[in-house]
Structure 1
Amino acid sequence: MELVIHARRAIVDGREQSVSVGVDGGRIVAVEPFHGLTASRVVELAEDEVLLPGLVDTHVHVNDPGRSEWEGFETATRAAAAGGITTIVDMPLNSLPPTVDVPSLEVKRETARGRVHVDVGFWGGAIPGNGGELRALYDAGVFGFKCFLLHSGVDEFPPLGPDELEADLRILREPDAMMIVHAEDAQTIDEAPAPHGEHYEGFLRSRPRGAENVAIARVIELARRTGARAHILHLSSSDALPMIAQARRDGVRLTVETCPHYLSFTAEEIADGATQFKCCPPIREAENRERLWQGLADGVIDCVVSDHSPCTPELKRPDFGEAWGGVASLQIGLPAVWTQARGRGHELADVVRWMAARPAELVGLRRKGRTVVGADADFCVFAPDEEFVVDVANLAHRNRVSAYHGRKLAGVVRSTWLRGSELTGSPRGELLVRGE
């Protein structure tokens, strides 16, 4: 073995254990009781450190190429590494061109090649008129397809209507590809008051829970009708949890994610003009947040991913009707979730399930998200009891805008390892292809 890591505390098989982990050729080759292995190189973690599997974030907007001033592969993946994330899956929109056919996928891969600090996979996009491209994109290695049910925020990635969504789900049923859906209903939002001004209450009224609920009900019905796999992105409305649970009991192939900002913040605390908190769907009230936490505890919500959607500072205008919607949080998702989770009686093993094992499982990354023999030797060394105050000046994101600035969080990432090597600044990531 090339490397052995001795960890008094590690998350293995869904629980905390004392183990020694052996690594060779970039893979985990042994997991034995503490101090039960030796190698030419030995790393012993400090008593206050816990060995976690590298986190997997399947919802990241890198925006490269085309809008790299918003983020970019180099900065996004450096921020991921700083946050204990060893694998991301990049969203198909906000880049130019969007990833809606094989040539655009190749453009994106070429842009990323040699510049990524962690492993990177890609989603494809489903837009009106590209149904004939979906199978070729899937065969080229994308992990599934993203669609919107209302305007995406960028004109080059238009939404699918109900008939188009059903047609695409039928196309994806045979290869068993997953459709991931931004589920808000356009008509409900069109009929709500338009957002404007510095007060968050106006923005919240413009994106009511009903917009999510109606759209999620539509996705459930179409997934039921077609037998295809569907995944609800960034769940914000806790009202939808009962119908999601019932759909699963009925055998609908449906999974759901939420995000650190929905689990951390509440509408009541967002100050006038604080558009760094603006995202779609929106951060909702405190009682809604608690019901989302209950949905996680009950297993109705499968995983927690960032929906890292950054922009340049000037796009975060103080008017909630004009500001770009998106929360930049890639680097600090783990401490943000852990801070809230531990106060509600959850353990680190729960956080690992939500932020590593389950996201990897959902997209078919068999060697990621778990500390088991045969997996990639991807690790996050985490000090769960150390606290810090978020300072945007210390974040690796390209633009220093964050809703978490000034917030005290628990948990510090001490180091991140990719395939048995500690990440220290040089790009070491690989571009992932589904099924490999």
Structure 2
Amino acid sequence: MSKKSNATQAGPAKVEVGSEIVTVRSNRVVQNNTTGPAEIVICDGKIADILPKRNWARPSGEKILDVGDLVVMPGIIDPHVHIYEPGQPAGEGFTSVTQAAAAGGITTVVDMPLYCSPPTTTLYALEKKLQSAKGKCHIDVAFWGGIIPGNQAELLPMLKAGVPGFQCFLMATGVEDFSHVCLHDIHVAMNELQDTDCVLLFHPEQEPSHSLPVQEDTMEYSTFLDTRPYTMEVEATITIAELCLQYKIPCHIVNLSSAQALPIIKDARQKGAPITVETAHHYLSLASECIPPGGIYYKCCPPIRDKNNQEQLWAALEVGEIDMVVSAHTPCSRDLKDLNNGDFLKAPAGIASLQFGLPLFWTSAKSRGFSFHDLVQLMCKNPAILSRLEDRKGSLGPGMDADLVIWNPEKEFEVNKNIIHHKDKLTPYLGFQLYGEVFATLVRGRLVYLNGKFAPKPEGDLLVTERKMPTRISSPYY
């Protein structure tokens, strides 16, 4: 197959970044069970039809994007992204995060509730978040709410206002105004949310039952790793599984790092628990053995573990025991990371990777036998289901939003500061050679990113339409 694509000439002048596209053609369109030539017809931001090559026509005057052999698939949905707006002007805001997402082929992100001020734990805070986001988003954005002690009266109002679910922590977050919950708080919240279709997101760490030794050299990654052992994830996962079985409310484990927790999840599923789980790109691409002394830009919670654990995560992905792969994008500035200090215990946690999720995953996955369809399942379809967006996003078909990523899986490139669109350029992936360059991103038929350029005006939607309080449905994964 030739790597040369006529996408570089798809540039009749009428096809410009920011324009509305009515037809996308490619020899590699990833549909439910096939990858092959197809023409995607777009009308009013929706997919109107998908035609085989023999039926292609070229009406005069229409905006057609013919990308040759480049891959066309559903836009990626990242349900785990931390946006620091409002209230944190030094952090990643809606403009930069949605531009970086568009450059990475992501068409929808779901914002986490804790790193803004106020955190999204009340209806008032959700309204402030929406006001802050208005007119700044280059792609579509949805929003999680948060559960903290004492906010149970806010949960149903936020759910009705459009959040698909709520995140909580079982141990201290280090974030003011976003306290962790105890078992009593969770029971109160889950009773409040019975007979709804929401999902609860759990960070899978809880305080160990005994104190942990701390080595003297805090510039060594092993010192930090010893403070967050596997047992913290295992114990938290046991708690989450028991709650999920008791209430049968869909529960989702974010940021899974430890493969030792997977048998607990598998057992709970077999007993009927509607429980799902994600892992993040850094757990699949980075290993603790390779983290240099003082390399605090690798710090995240739960931590990056060893190569053997990483291989077990990949094996779980292959057999469907992990449902999705996300960025868990948590950018930190150089000042916050305090590079001159290099102290793993004092540095804030967080890894920036949003823009590079697709190539990070593909670079490792292609050699392991993963297909484009596997990629769509893990990064488009299942995240859409989790975020309660599967009726309009995550797959290609008539009636779905015309959210598309167009990319070259054979193209290799180097991650350097000049191509990073995150506000802060600090990332452990600098210098990485990755496969899978994004050429174009469409959101509801509009070309929001094209070959390094962004649409001049951000027109992403805020996905918070008022919701009814339906009878609880079982998790669509089962």
- TM bucket normalised to smaller: over 0.9
8 Å contact kept, 1:364–1:435: no
Aligned to 2:260: 239
Is the aligned partner of 1:73 residue 2:94?
yes
Q: CA deviation at 1:420?
A: 0.8
Q: Where do 1:63-212 residues align within 5 Å?
A: 63-188=84-209, 191-194=211-214, 197-212=218-233
8 Å contact kept, 2:25–2:68: no
Q: CA deviation at 1:15?
A: 3.6
Letter in 2 for 1:80: A
Q: What is the number of residues matched between the two proteins?
A: 434
Letter in 2 for 1:126: I
Is the aligned partner of 1:382 residue 2:407?
yes
> 418, 426, 438: which one pairs with 1:393?
418
Deviations, residues 210-235 of structure 1 (Å, cap 9, x unaligned): 10000000010011111211100010
The structure-2 alpha-carbon separation of the partners of 1:236 and 1:15, relative to structure 1 and needing over 3 Å to count, comes to farther
Letter in 2 for 1:428: E
8 Å contact kept, 1:66–1:97: yes
Aligned to 1:41: 63
Q: Where do 1:176-325 residues align within 5 Å?
A: 176-188=197-209, 191-194=211-214, 197-317=218-338, 318-325=342-349
Q: CA deviation at 1:434?
A: 5.5
> 32, 37, 49: which one pairs with 1:18?
37
Q: Which SS does the other structure have where 1:8 is aligned?
A: strand
8 Å contact kept, 2:121–2:154: yes
CA distance in 2, matches of 1:393, 1:63: 23
The structure-2 alpha-carbon separation of the partners of 1:279 and 1:434, relative to structure 1 and needing over 3 Å to count, comes to farther
8 Å contact kept, 2:225–2:303: yes
Q: Which SS does the other structure have where 1:23 is aligned?
A: strand
Q: CA deviation at 1:243?
A: 1.3
CA distance in 1, matches of 2:393, 2:118: 29
8 Å contact kept, 1:145–1:179: yes
8 Å contact kept, 1:230–1:253: yes
CA distance in 2, matches of 1:30, 1:193: 61
Is the aligned partner of 1:431 residue 2:462?
yes
CA distance in 2, matches of 1:192, 1:25: 58
> 351, 365, 377: which one pairs with 1:353?
377
8 Å contact kept, 1:270–1:277: yes
8 Å contact kept, 1:65–1:108: yes
> 333, 342, 357: which one pairs with 1:333?
357
Q: CA deviation at 1:157?
A: 0.3
Which protein is bigger by CA-based radius of gyration?
2
8 Å contact kept, 1:198–1:320: yes
Higher alpha-carbon deviation: 118-127 or 393-402: 393-402
Is the aligned partner of 1:344 residue 2:368?
yes
Deviations, residues 273-312 of structure 1 (Å, cap 9, x unaligned): 1111100000100010011011111111100111000121
8 Å contact kept, 1:51–1:382: yes
Q: CA deviation at 1:383?
A: 0.3
Deviations, residues 183-206 of structure 1 (Å, cap 9, x unaligned): 101134x72234762111111111
> 24, 45, 50: which one pairs with 2:71?
50
CA distance in 1, matches of 2:148, 2:392: 31
Q: Which SS does the other structure have where 2:365 is aligned?
A: helix
Q: CA deviation at 1:41?
A: 2.4
> 15, 18, 28: which one pairs with 1:9?
28
Q: CA deviation at 1:181?
A: 0.4
Q: Which SS does the other structure have where 1:191 is aligned?
A: coil
CA distance in 2, matches of 1:2, 1:119: 17
Letter in 1 for 2:362: W
The structure-2 alpha-carbon separation of the partners of 1:44 and 1:435, relative to structure 1 and needing over 3 Å to count, comes to farther
The structure-2 alpha-carbon separation of the partners of 1:58 and 1:435, relative to structure 1 and needing over 3 Å to count, comes to farther
Letter in 2 for 1:383: N
CA distance in 2, matches of 1:29, 1:151: 48
Q: CA deviation at 1:406?
A: 0.7
CA RMSD of aligned residues (A): 1.5
Q: CA deviation at 1:37?
A: 3.4
8 Å contact kept, 2:208–2:231: no
8 Å contact kept, 2:21–2:447: no
Could you tell me the TM-score, scaled by structure 2's length? 0.88
